[in-house]
């Protein structure tokens, strides 16, 4: 399990930076102009209102998972003044090892975050605020960001708070979650190659997930818990790949200190399995940004262009809260870097 970002639940270690100037490093702000949604960012207006910090940041990033940290690093290197808000309670905190991140394969998500914050401590352009964002509102050409410690003003906003997840209601599931029960197939399936695996979910996309998981093991049983939808045609396709579908209700999972040992059905029967992948239900947790009226997809993910621009001018998003949703850490980090580049160029009016 290591899809990427925090819910809100925004991460960050508190640190201090030198006194803040009102003009971003790298030159004066571009001339003010009307801009369509997703276009270049308007020039900053004079600071107004009752805010606890007189600084006007170039960017406020809400969420410091891989997408947010990567964006902060690249923006700092572009000499942009950046405030990062996060509470350091990521969804993948229980995961002991994440995979697929070049030069960091096997590192825990929490250690990866810590390494990222340590690197950013070398840049005085970046400030971390360990708290939770509660509201963001537009005020002329700027934004007022409220968190539990006060308010801040910014020229642009980057949302990287990721998703929250709801897992199937099994009493012992969380005991093994992050060790022998996972949600990200691409992240964690390699360790269970050719071993007996279960897939559990209550949605209508289980067949697709099962085919994906069968790349690592054909010893696979799909449990619908009496809720998940697999059509007769899909079941035939899965059977052709040696995948079994079990539509009975699931009562719990079984295991010990060594990990998962089986799936407990409602009648008490235990089906031996060494690992399980679950299909959670995800929510974006973006209530703090409701006033921005951002366009979202049918499944609640933020709609962005190829560079992370949302439907609202000067508001950007990257990571799990954007389509296609949960993704590997390195993919989220790449999205953060790409969006940081777009923000810097938009601030220049390019």
27-72 per-position pLDDT tens digit: 434 333 333 344 444 443 333 333 445 689 999 999 999 999 999 9
* The two structure tokens encoding residue 261: 């040992």
The answer as to whether 25 is a domain residue is no
pLDDT for 42 equals: 42
Number of domains in the chain: 2
Helix axes 66-77, 109-120, angle to 10 degrees: 20
| Most confidently modeled range among 4-18, 70-84, 93-107 | 70-84
Structural domain boundaries enclosing 335:
56-164+282-347
Select the highest-mean-pLDDT range: 16-30, 221-235, 320-334: 221-235
Query: Does 271 have pLDDT greater than 70?
Result: yes
Q: What is the pLDDT of residue 34?
A: 37
Structural domain contains residue 42: no
Mean pLDDT of the region 225-245: 96
Residue 138 lies in a domain: yes
Structure-token pair, residue 121? 């401590």
What CATH number corresponds to the domain at position 208? 3.50.50.60
User: Is the pLDDT assigned to residue 241 strictly greater than 80?
Assistant: yes
| Band (262; pLDDT cuts 50, 70, 90) | very high
Q: How far apart are CA 90 and CA 4, in angstroms?
A: 9
Percent of the chain exceeding pLDDT 70 equals 82
The pLDDT-based confidence of 92 (bands split at 50, 70, 90) is low
- Picking from 255, 279, 303, the residue at the C-terminal end of a domain is 279
The Cα angle at residue 109 between residues 103 and 113, in degrees rounded to 5:
85
Q: What is the pLDDT confidence band of residue 295, given thresholds at 50, 70 and 90?
A: very high
Q: Is residue 36 part of a domain?
A: no
Same domain (yes/no): 159, 293: yes
Structure tokens at 38: 């997703």
Domain boundary among 256, 279, 302: 279
Query: Do residues 177 and 94 lie in contact, with contact meaning Cβ atoms separated by under 8 Å?
Result: yes
C-alpha 344 chain-centroid distance = 22
* Helix, strand, coil share of the chain (percent; to 5): 20, 25, 50
The per-residue pLDDT for 47 is 33
Tell me: do 156 and 286 sit in the same domain: yes
Decide: 31 and 122 in contact? Cβ < 8 Å: no
Residues 271, 317, single domain; the answer is no
Q: Which of 279, 307, 337 is the last residue of a domain?
A: 279
Asked if residue 205 and residue 134 are part of one domain, the reply reads: no
Classify strands 126-130 and 197-201 as parallel, antiparallel or unpaired.
unpaired
326 lies in some domain = yes
Residue 324 is predicted with a pLDDT of 83
**Residues 153 and 177 reside in one and the same domain:** no
What's the mean pLDDT in 195-220? 96
pTM across the whole model: 0.79
């Amino acid at each position: 399990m290591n899809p990427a970002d925090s819910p809100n639940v925004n991460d960050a270690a508190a640190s201090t930076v030198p006194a803040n100037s009102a003009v971003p490093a790298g030159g004066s702000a571009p001339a003010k102009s009307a801009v369509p949604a997703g276009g270049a960012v308007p020039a900053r207006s004079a600071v107004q209102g009752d805010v606890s910090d007189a600084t006007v940041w170039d960017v406020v990033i809400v969420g410091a998972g891989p997408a947010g940290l990567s964006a902060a690093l690249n923006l700092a290197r572009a000499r942009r003044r950046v405030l990062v808000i996060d509470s350091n309670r990521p969804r993948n905190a229980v995961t002991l090892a994440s995979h697929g991140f070049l030069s960091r394969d096997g590192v825990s998500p929490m250690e990866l975050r810590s390494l990222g914050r340590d690197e950013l401590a070398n840049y005085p352009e970046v400030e971390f605020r360990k708290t939770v964002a509660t509201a963001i509102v537009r005020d002329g050409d700027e934004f007022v960001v409220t968190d539990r410690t006060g308010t801040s003003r910014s020229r642009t906003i980057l949302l990287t708070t990721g998703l929250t997840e709801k897992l199937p209601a099994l009493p012992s599931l969380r005991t093994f979650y992050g060790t022998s029960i996972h949600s990200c197939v691409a992240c964690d399936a390699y360790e269970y190659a050719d071993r007996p695996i279960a897939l559990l979910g209550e949605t209508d996309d289980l067949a697709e997930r099962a085919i994906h998981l069968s790349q690592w093991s054909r010893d696979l049983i799909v449990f619908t818990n009496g809720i998940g939808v697999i059509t007769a045609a899909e079941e035939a396709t899965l059977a052709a790949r040696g995948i079994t579908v079990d539509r009975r209700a699931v009562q719990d999972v079984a295991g010990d200190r060594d990990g998962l040992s089986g799936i407990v059905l409602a009648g008490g029967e235990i089906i031996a399995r060494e690992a399980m992948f679950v299909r959670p239900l995800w929510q974006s947790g973006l209530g703090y940004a409701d006033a921005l009226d951002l366009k979202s997809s049918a499944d609640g993910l933020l709609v962005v262009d190829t560079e992370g621009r949302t439907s609202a001018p000067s508001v950007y998003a990257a990571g799990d809260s954007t389509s296609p949703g949960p993704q590997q850490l390195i993919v989220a980090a790449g999205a953060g870097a790409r969006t940081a580049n777009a923000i810097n160029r938009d601030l220049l009016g390019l």
